[in-house]
Structure 1
């Protein structure tokens, strides 16, 4: 196992390579201080705008699928619920940020973020930080954080445009305008996408009928800034998205629905000011952000449905957040340099108003919640560089919530550069937590479920140890980069639904524990300036601490491989392989019936993107997904979308 691991991947540094521009020098998410990626004591992956375009990524699920330590599970194609398991933790243990602000959906029963809907036209880069991060960002960051950093106006005014068509029937277009004019900067982006889609009910199931799940989405983003004096920017940001798509029903048995439709709308806005004081010694930022999600799922009665199901479900989530963040750059003293102190305060108000009304074969079911909760938090941290080779960082956060979310968390780590042996060594340890969701606390349904307002937060401790080495060869200083990281996480007070002895009622309680360990590794080969290969391997052992059973949907083995070749001027070819090993899951048999938990089969997906730059301003591209027509089921009962091809043109004016 260790030899296989050593041969594989280093997600942090390897995939962080930008395939069209130099390596991003600085990462903000991991420490809230712009820091060189090699000095961060955590698993970090940066997916740049150039990498998004070079790999042909059009959705957030596609962009995250090759990140080591991440297991991306989508129930169907675009629109289908998308979950991410980070380093073997639960899918509600990853916190999603937009420009550093949490955007998880408070109306979701588990407080999840649906990765299955969002597209990428307005994204400048994605920063993924693995490991406990509650000491910086609060609840939900047990496994890590994913920060979606949006495009911002820079340089001379310019416009971008993209248009593509594909098979099966698909069309997408995007347009942008950005730049700096005097004291104003601006970035405007609009995107639309429509897919005929695939029937994601597995073809092995007798209920399969071939009815495709359509997907349509439209999104627009406005990012404006005004700099009245040098070093101070007043910013306003607004993003809206509306999506419509079809789904399949997993009933008893599963049914390949034809009319099940969903509408998923989201609006997010932010207003704030950033300022550099005393010649940049003190950087301070204050803003208020507001996000709202509105989801509506409608399943009309279909005569052929053996479950005779019909439902009408609405989720309305609202989150308001006020943040004040500060960075003070301290003078160099003795062996220490680049020292910075951070501190800040945040206030959050979450609310959920959700109603599920359904009828199963004449038996009515209803679930609802109308609740809100507030939290206040303060955080502080320190980072320094000693003797120009040892980076130390430490953070702590105190969070006080009205219900079930009070916690103190901390994290400390270091990276030691040893250029004499071309290596870097890293280590970190931290604590983290997830507050109960509003549904955990206050949800009710007609089967006797009632939330528990006395729940405690789920808590974790975790550490990681890593080593990276750059290997010179073929006249190149970094002909190869190898990185290996071992991680270990212990989670307690996991929230689970507990039934009464007569099964007539249920509630949530803190009863479970989990033990997780694993290895992330990557190998990047750069034999020539026109050729680069990235191989990644993740081994994960995630178990229930009480029974020692493996946790569901956490494959032991996961592999990705990609190659970026530019054999001719302007021509870039990027093949990509994603392999998911066998995993435990709730299994669905060939007749659509659930048969309990068991071993789900492994699967592999092959993608290929080809880009040809006609001029520096105009490029043609073709993107093929699942070229092998794999029938892999990332979740049992949901087949991955079939072979597709998208081709188009990308321009910059």
Structure 2
């Protein structure tokens, strides 16, 4: 049973927020955010250099997904909009509500760092400390910044493939509100609403959402090699998700700024064992996430030096009620267990930003974090075994970092940075990063390049799990390079971006089945090309967006392709506006052949999926929208033997006041 109700956790989060607000001004792992009157546009990034920077001045490969693009996608899932980001691969294990993993440039999910408002949110109780994006609602999000390439010099452990920073909405201007409702195929429904604004020095934003679906059987649904007469009898696996967040700020204009935020999400999803004689089983997963942070900054030296401090708290909970059958479905042949995983992060960080005029900007800081993991197991059938602790561990991480951004004239921007992470008693590693951006304004060209190293400390599970753990593990490391060009085309009506990259991973941690433990034994290499294009075909009527990623991801020990890394992924979309109030958006996604298992096993066929979205603004308040997903009803798999949705229809209303 679930022992920690959502209400109790929300109370804990609120108490921690109050403590943070009283005890110290705070600032998260993200760069100092713009003032409340400086809401960033798609031309500004707060992730690439830990401080607000014009994208034209950064040498890193970065994509910003704005609020408008999020609103046009599926309100129940972040998956669809993230698929349009070059270099980013998303895998759902059996449709909406199932566990979802992301990978950047072929790095594993645990080597892709996820931040929410700059706060690290990976689950310390999981095997690779990854974050499950399926628990988040798009209704809570204002924008997403995806920074590709090794970024451990800025953000520490896990940022080997890159960083995904999910940024919630900030209050700005007069009070505004929104509400949205949607329904459609598979018994799907979603509703969300929120409020935001500012009053004098205070700003505020809050939002809540609920989404549900009856779903379909995660195992075997619409997979042609299975007998339809058998899979037709499989139970549908649905989900329910509640999410909410609140964020407020205080800026009296005296050089001191304060901000605090809280987020909570709870998901109940059904899933299948997907193995044995009876793979369709009544399993249920409960996944909860809580985050709280306080953030304060103040200016000194006539504004030349800004100090910022953060306190932060994040907790992930995963509880699995699992049923497996033997040769029959009698109680004597049934195994029923409850497994619980609780991971928690708490800490503080200082960041200073020193503006040196023509000598650029120096960003420096220090971070202290403690992460803990607790796991429990209980068995009900066939022989009851009382709840018992299977893992209780924790570790402290101390870090120092610095970054120098140096403009040389009006065309060239350089940056060089480094960081030392010390996981006390476990691992210590140093990382570095350098970038270059050169602009040719006469032709609308930006040339850019970056190089850096990445590191990932072994997780608590890998170190201390009973039987499997190895306390002698060392940190994983990587070295990566990229070079690219951003070019204005069609007389300024469009842009074209092309990036070539390579990453080499060493000392990777793998599970050794012969010894039943983890070891630093693996090496891997990923390389490829990313392309993104956006331009206006017919002014005010037709716009086009396209993306393509070519990836070679190899296990250097065996020479074989890494699991779930397609060689080619392409997206193509159009925005057609026959009238100012009416928008039609057809799109296509192509994914090439890949392997669901290691060692090039469990081959998955390529597929091409078509979607269609449309919206109509009825008046200043109301907008109606609809979409058809998988228009041609193509059958495909993202994970071997796990189904995906067929042709699906959805429609809804959105209101803004």
What's the TM-score once normalised by structure 1's chain length?
0.89
State which drifts further: 43-52 or 348-357. Answer: 348-357
Q: Is the 8 A contact 1:236 1:271 kept in 2?
A: yes
Is 1:274 matched with 2:303? no
Shift of 1:566: 1.1
Mapped to 2, the partners of 1:248 and 1:638 lie a distance apart of 9
2:517 aligned residue (507, 525, 543): 507
Q: Show CA shifts across 1:383-420 (max 9, x none).
A: 12222111111111111112433110000010111234
In the aligned structure 2, how far is the partner of 1:468 from the partner of 1:237?
35
Kept in 2, the 8 Å contact 1:200–1:641? The answer is no
Match of 2:409 among 371, 387, 394: 387
CA distance in 2, matches of 1:357, 1:495: 29
Q: CA deviation at 1:371?
A: 0.4
Aligned match for 2:432, one of 379, 393, 410: 410
Aligned mates of 1:584, 1:631 — CA distance in 2 = 16
Which moves more between the two structures, 52-61 or 391-400? Answer: 52-61
Aligned equivalent of 2:258: 234
Which whole-Å deviations, capped at 9, do the CAs of 1:435-457 have from their partners, x for residues lacking one? 1110000001xxxx331111100
Q: Where does 1:369-448 land on structure 2 (aligned, <5 Å)?
A: 369-444=391-466
Could you say which residue in structure 2 is the equivalent of 1:573?
584
In the TM superposition, what is the alpha-carbon distance from 1:598 to its structure 2 partner? 4.0
Corresponding residue to 2:340 among 280, 305, 314 = 314
Within 5 Å, give how 1:345-360 maps onto structure 2.
345-357=366-378
Q: Does 1:643 pair with 2:647? A: yes
- The change in CA–CA distance for 1:418 and 1:408 in structure 2 (over 3 A counts) is same
| 2:190 aligned with 1:172 | yes
Shift in alpha-carbon separation, 1:561–1:137, aligned structure 2, 3 A: same
Seen in structure 2, the aligned counterparts of structure 1 residues 327 and 353 have a Cα distance that, compared at 3 Å, is same
Cα deviations by residue, 1:539-569 (Å, 9 ceiling, x for unpaired)? 1001011211111110111111111111112
Q: Secondary structure at the match of 2:357?
A: coil
Question: Do residues 534 (structure 1) and 534 (structure 2) align?
Answer: no
In 1, Cα distance between equivalents of 2:601 and 2:49:
40
Q: Which of residues 465, 469, 485 in structure 1 aligns to 2:499?
A: 485
User: Which secondary structure does the structure 1 equivalent of 2:81 belong to?
Assistant: helix
Q: Are 2:620 and 1:616 equivalent residues in the alignment?
A: yes
Residue of structure 2 aligned with 1:451, choices 469, 475, 479: 469
Confirm or deny: 8 A CA contact 1:478 1:526 kept in the other structure. Answer: no
Partner residue of 1:243? 267
Distance 1:134 1:407 in 2: 10
Stretch of structure 1 that moved more, 140-149 or 81-90: 81-90
The 8 Å contact of residues 391 and 415 in structure 1, kept in 2 or not, is answered as yes
Alignment partner of 1:182 is 2:192 = no
**Which residue does the alignment assign to 1:607?**
611
Matched residues in 1 for 2:138 and 2:349: separation?
26
**Aligned 8 A contact 1:325 1:343 in 2:** yes
Task: Give the aligned partner of residue 325 of structure 1.
Answer: 351
Other-structure match for 1:13: none
Q: CA–CA distance in 1 between the matches of 2:257 and 2:618?
A: 38
- Which position in structure 2 is the counterpart of 1:138? 156
Of residues 615-624 and 169-178 in structure 1, the stretch that sits farther from structure 2 once superposed is 615-624
Give the structure 1 partner of residue 24 of structure 2: none
Moved more, 227-236 or 380-389: 227-236
CA offset digits 1:69-125 (Å, max 9, x no partner): 111111012221111121111121100001111100101111111122211111110
**Offset of residue 356 of structure 1:** 4.2
Which of 486, 489, 495 pairs up with 2:509?
A: 495
Equivalent pair of 1:308/1:362 in contact (CA under 8 Å): no
Q: CA deviation at 1:217?
A: 0.7
Residue pair 1:56, 1:609 contacting (<8 A) in 2 also: no
Query: Given that residues 255 and 305 in structure 1 are in contact (C-alpha distance below 8 angstroms), is that contact kept between their aligned partners in structure 2?
Result: no
Deviations 1:119-165 (A, max 9, x none): 11111100001100000100000000000101111111111111122
Q: Is the 8 A contact 1:327 1:343 kept in 2?
A: yes
Match of 2:27 in 1: none
Alignment RMSD (CA, Å) = 2.4
Matched, 1:108 2:108: no
Describe the superposition over 1:234-279 as per-residue Cα deviations: whole angstroms up to 9, x where unpaired. Answer: 222111111111001122357022x211111111111221223344
User: How far apart are the structure 1 equivalents of 2:63 and 2:532?
Assistant: 11
In the TM superposition, what whole-angstrom CA distance separates every residue of 1:581-627 from its partner, at most 9, and x where no partner exists?
1012229xxxxxxx981422112222222111112322111122222
Gaps of 5+ in 1: 1-20, 334-338, 588-594
Tell me the CA shift for residue 305 of structure 1.
Answer: 5.6
Q: Name the SS of the counterpart of 2:551 in structure 1.
A: strand
Q: Structure 2 vs 1, CA of residues 39 and 195 (structure 1 numbering), >3 Å: closer, same or farther? A: same
Query: Counterpart of 1:104 in 2: which secondary structure?
Result: coil
Distance 1:283 1:618, change over 3 A: farther
1:283 aligns with 2:283: no
Q: Distance in 1 between matches of 2:146 and 2:498?
A: 17
Q: Does 1:298 align with 2:317?
A: no
Determine the structure 2 residue equivalent to 1:517.
527
Mapped to 2, the partners of 1:178 and 1:482 lie a distance apart of 35
Relative to structure 1, the CA distance from residue 610 to residue 555 in structure 2 (aligned partners, 3 Å threshold; closer, same or farther) is same
Query: How far 1:425 moved relative to its partner?
Result: 1.1
Displacement of 1:215 after TM fit?
Answer: 1.0
How far apart are 1:321 and its partner, in Å? 2.2
